Structure 1
Amino acid sequence: MTITIPCVDLKSATSSVSDSGIAQQLDKALSSHGFCYIQGHGISEAEISQIFEANHAFHRLAQHDKEAIAVNAFHRGYIGKGASKTVTSTVATATHSNRSESFMMMQSVSPDHGQWGSAIFGPNQWPESLGNHFRTQCFSYFKAMQTLADELTQRLAVALGLRPDAFSHWFTEPTVFLRLLKYPAAGTTDPHGEFGSAPHTDHGFLTLVAQDSTSGLQVQGADGTWIPLPPVRNALVLNVADMLSVISGRRWPSSPHRVVLNRSERYSTAFFYDPNFSAMIEPQVPSAAPAENQARIHYGEYLMARFAKNYRYRSEMA
């Protein structure tokens, strides 16, 4: 039997975040695999086109220009091929580093911030040769996606039977990542066990992915099979990450997913919307497993532990 991932139309321009019909669709869609497509999300084709233009522009740069902004201690900048390895995967042992390369930016942080210079609280890095245009494109998309993610945070609360603002205390200073990814074409002699991105779950609250026309993203079903998420025109992929799964009492799984290499290069843009670094996450919906109801996770500590295990630059800086 072929399994397809459902698509939910948010009707963002006309529907309330409290719309019960959309809430029910989100709940049903996410209960199975923790993944769905969303349309009617309010992000225009032009905005998506511009961020892919920025994505391609960055990855066309000479290698020395990219390495000039190699990822810093605050997880911002260029992450080269082989710089990450999904050691924390619960699905399969990662025998090779991920084949992707990417540009990572986060929310702006003022030097006056009380945590400036620690953990993720530091400056973004920008390729000089692309000038202000690249920075403007990234921040424009970042702002639009943050508006959508804030809307989804309210819709997801309603989908769990809670007030729209039930999660607001965790997002007064959200942790937000924008990652411009490039995956190489698969070679005929690539060793077994290589992935564009090895099987993993996402560490935060929710992830929104814009794909180009090349397939490769897959989510693992409960029976262990891998379900493809082919590109769908004007749709974004929404997936539940670890913190949201905890909040939902595991009603919505944070499902393992991966990117397999294709015969063509693949570009995608991933937006990660996560709680405040200091947030203490706990279930808001009772779980059938009593132990799950006692879960309390400090998001920032969880995040930094994941970084330490999965990114080579962390050990090099130690």
Structure 2
Amino acid sequence: MTLSVVDYTDKNAPELFVKSLRETGFGVLKNHPIQQSLVESIYHNWQEFFNNHGKQEFAFDVEKQDGYFSSEISEVAKGHTQKDIKEYFHVYPWGRIPDSLKDEILNYYQLASNLASELLDWVEAYSPEDVAKNYSQPLSSMIKDTPNTLLRILHYPPLTGDEEAGAIRAAAHEDINLLTILPAANEPGLQVQCQDGSWINVPSDFGNLIINIGDMLQEASGGYFPSTTHRVINPTGKASTKSRISLPLFLHPCSDVKLSEEHTQASYLLERLRELGVK
């Protein structure tokens, strides 16, 4: 299996993109509207934030889940025992953000959210009729004015050789949300698992936009769109001395949106956060 890159400007882009999502759980776009210069600036500015001890002033709020999460309390992926080798910051428009970084990151949050709404329209347009009828409302309206969409700035620090045995930058996992929007990181390492259990590299050319399905879209589509297992592997050689910054936007519906007969967004999220040990 290979992941093809879809040109956002191609007239067939919506169909090709949704086909890739359906078959692999991932879609990769080039020539999309998010400027690479903005992403580069964010990577640079947040690298400085993670290098600074002042980050501790923004230690995360247990109830609100905003702010800085150190590597000591980093996630343990479902089914794993080692913590991921990473630290990260949760950005919500209503949350705490360092003043010097706020305008730029919220501009990106809005741009990526707008594009995400369009991509959800693509998904709905190319959902079979028997799948689409299960959506409790149009997919893009599920995220309209939502306070729940999360932008996570991830920092994978250089490896020191003292890491816990078996730990990697991000252990194999699925995302919780509808879709995840991710600019290609400044270093490679993202892999997706094929149906036969093998792993392939996600095209990571700087400037690509990587989109994957989360559990909530799988739930809403009755399993038609698969939430695909992915991971970030540890680099080797000279690459292991470099930091990796990543910028996933996790699209979450409003809390009362009905995903299925069994779950709203709120009930589904709570169940998963408890599994991850962060609630």
Q: TM-score range by the shorter chain?
A: 0.7 to 0.9
Question: How many aligned residue pairs are there?
Answer: 266
d(CA) in 2 for partners of 1:267 and 1:149?
A: 21
- Cα distance in 2 for partners of 1:158, 1:126 equals 36
Q: Percent identity?
A: 25
Cα distance in 2 for residues equivalent to 1:170 and 1:69? 30
1:22: Cα distance to partner? 2.3
1:280–1:299 CA contact under 8 A, matched in 2? yes
Deviations 1:220-265 (A, max 9, x none): 1111112112421321110001111223332221011111122132
1:33-182 correspondence to structure 2 within 5 Å: 33-62=24-53, 65-72=54-61, 73-87=63-77, 89=78, 93-108=79-94, 124-127=95-98, 132-161=99-128, 166-174=138-146, 175-182=148-155
The 3-state SS of whatever aligns with 2:89 is strand
- Unpaired stretches in structure 2, ≥5 consecutive residues: none
Q: Cα offset for 1:26?
A: 1.8
**Counterparts of 2:103 and 2:75 in 1: how far apart (Å)?**
31
1: distance between equivalents of 2:232 and 2:87?
Answer: 13
For 1:52 and 1:311, how far apart are their aligned partners in 2? 28
Alpha-carbon spacing, 1:10–1:235, altered in 2? closer, same or farther (3 Å): same
Q: Secondary structure at the match of 1:143?
A: helix
Rounded to whole Å, the distance in 2 between the matches of 1:153 and 1:45 is 22
Q: Quote the Cα distance in structure 2 between the aligned partners of 1:223 and 1:179.
A: 30
In structure 1, stretches of 5+ residues that fail to align are 109-123, 283-294
Determine the structure 1 residue equivalent to 2:194: 221
| Match of residue 114 from structure 1 | none
Q: Following superposition, which runs of at least 4 residues in structure 1 exceed 4 angstroms of deviation?
A: none
Q: Match of 1:118? A: none
* Aligned amino acid, residue 278 of structure 1: D
TM-score, length-normalised on structure 2? 0.87
2:220 to 211, 235, 247: 247
Shift of 1:67: 1.6
User: For the residues of structure 2 that align with 1:261 and 1:203, how far apart are their CA atoms?
Assistant: 23
Tell me which moved more, 96-105 or 246-255. 246-255
Higher radius of gyration, 1 or 2: 1
In angstroms, what is the RMSD of aligned CA positions?
2.1
Given residue 229 of structure 1, which amino acid in structure 2 is its aligned partner?
Answer: V
- TM-score norm. by structure 1 comes to 0.77
Matches of 1:158 and 1:171 in 2, distance apart?
17
